[in-house]
Amino acid sequence: LVVAAEKKGYDLQAGGDPDPFFGYYFRILEAQGKHANGGAYEYVVNGKMIGGFALIAYPANYGVSGVMTFMVNHDEVVYQKDLGEQTEKIANEINLFDPDETWDKVEPAATAFWNQ
């Protein structure tokens, strides 16, 4: 993603406000909660992210650049949820990869076609 963003002209300098990438903000989550496969645990051990990883992506402008918020971790399952008009506030309060029953699994495009 970083290389792709750089090729598209996005500023990669540290600090300052984040720039949306194709209409979405992305953030790293450093732990997972009890609803995640394997239960709750930290991904960061002794200052290194060796226990896994997770990302959250949410629309920079709800209803314009997107509606759904997405989460994925090292298990490669993508989840989505419509957080509504307060998406930015709610997404910024999410600190764990913890997709409970209110999050929907996203079907991979390749398998979705064959499962019709």
Tens digits of pLDDT across the chain (116 residues): 556 656 666 565 666 678 898 999 999 999 999 999 999 999 999 999 999 999 999 999 999 999 999 999 999 999 999 999 999 999 999 999 999 999 999 987 755 555 55
pLDDT at 83: 98
Place of tokens 């989550």: 29
Residue 65: how many other CB atoms lie within 10 Å: 14
Question: Can you give the pLDDT at residue 115?
Answer: 59
Q: What is the pTM of this model?
A: 0.81
Would you state the pLDDT for residue 67? Answer: 97
pLDDT at 112: 58
Compute the half-sphere exposure of residue 53: CA atoms within 13 Å on the CB side of its CA: 7
Residue 23, pLDDT score: 95
Q: Give the distance from CA 90 to its chain's centroid.
A: 13
Q: Residue 65's pLDDT is what?
A: 95
What gap in Å lies between CA 60 and CA 21, rounded to an integer? Answer: 9
Q: What is the pLDDT of residue 18?
A: 82
Q: Among candidates 1, 58, 69, 56, which has minimal Cα distance to 30?
A: 56
